[in-house]
Amino acid sequence: MALIGILGGMGPLATVDFMERLIALTCSAGASRDQQHLPLLVAHLPHIPDRSEALLGTGENPLPALLSGIDMLNRNEVELIVIPCNSAHHWYDAMRAKSRAPIIHIAEASVAALPPGVRRVAALATGGTFHSGLYQRILAARGFESVEPDAATQRHIDACIREVKAGEIEASTGHLAAALDWLVDQGAQAAVLGCTELPLAARPMKAPSIPMIDSTLELARATVSYGLSRGWNRAL
């Protein structure tokens, strides 16, 4: 039986949201009974040190814990690894080198989903992810121009993420709306929700003024496509 390994817990609610997306997408692809879903092995590891703090130079390096999680999935012989945390992908190359299985890159999948005709893109992410330049590099490589938040807007984004981690979705939505308003005023034509907490904050929003790319959804789409194309939804 082929297993998809999820390196999760970063954060806990975002990991559950990702799993729900996987199941919903598999149902949309025709699954109607347990045996038609994709086998998953979830390493839910919330004690991995904060990725954003590490990237900003204020926290412990999470790479040893990330690699320990990869080792756990290696021992269980998973055939694909997915990590529903954008900030963790700063260490993608090191994790990929450690992994026996391919790892889908959440930021690559998200940028690939931007609609035609868009040029100026805002990638909303943790302060650490923004500081690392992860999305800016991928956007530039694909011919997009980044619209970057100012300090006040980044504070709204960071507050939004904190509120989701604390389960305060209503408060998080207000911070996200304020950040998007400023970015649209700066000419953003689309936004990538480049932290897996942000789609949870966006869910209550009605009629956003620009297209929003949901990184959790795009990672789930890529995962389901990979698994279904290999027949992993069929019990042997």
82 and 126 assigned to the same domain? no
Q: What is the pLDDT of residue 128?
A: 98
Within a domain: 74? yes
Q: Do both 101 and 121 map to the same domain?
A: no
CATH number of 23's domain: 3.40.50.1860
Do residues 117 and 101 both lie within one domain? no
140 assigned to some structural domain: yes
Task: Out of 55-69, 141-155, 203-217, pick the least confident.
Answer: 203-217
Per-residue pLDDT, averaged over 88-99, amounts to 98
pLDDT interval class at 175 (50, 70, 90): very high
Q: How many CB atoms lie within 10 A of CB 115?
A: 9
> 11 and 60 share a domain?
yes
Q: Over the stretch 29-80, which tens digit does the pLDDT of each residue have?
A: 999 999 999 999 999 999 999 999 999 999 999 999 999 999 999 999 999 9
My answer on whether 133 and 205 are in the same domain is: yes
Average pLDDT on 157-170 reads: 97
Task: For residues 138 and 189, state if they share a domain.
Answer: yes
Average pLDDT of span 6-21: 98
The verdict on 118 and 190 lying in the same domain is yes
| pLDDT over threshold 80, residue 235 | no
State residue 207's pLDDT score: 81
Judge if 91 and 143 occupy the same domain: no
Give how many domains the chain has, as a whole number: 2
How far is Cα of residue 60 from the mean position of the Cα atoms in its chain?
A: 21
Contact 189, 118 (CB under 8 A): yes
Mean pLDDT of the chain: 97
| pLDDT band per the 50, 70, 90 thresholds, residue 209 | confident
Mean pLDDT of 99-114: 98
Whether residue 40 is found in the same domain as residue 94: yes
Domain match, 72 and 24 both: yes
* Residue at 188 is within a domain: yes
The encoded tokens of residue 68 equal: 């320990």
Residues 35 and 119 in one domain: no
Looking at the fold, whether 42 and 85 belong to one and the same domain comes out as yes
pLDDT of residue 236: 62
In a domain, 203, yes or no: yes
Q: What is the pTM of this model?
A: 0.97
| For range 111-140, the mean pLDDT | 98
Any domain includes 94: yes
Residue 89: inside a domain: yes
Confidence of residue 167 (pLDDT cuts 50, 70, 90): very high
Residues contacting 7, CB < 8 A, separation 6+: 43, 45, 66, 69, 70, 73, 81, 82, 83, 85, 88
**Cα distance between residue 149 and residue 162, in whole Å:** 17
**Residue 234 lies inside a defined structural domain of this protein:** no
Domain that holds residue 45: 4-105+218-229
In a domain, 236, yes or no: no
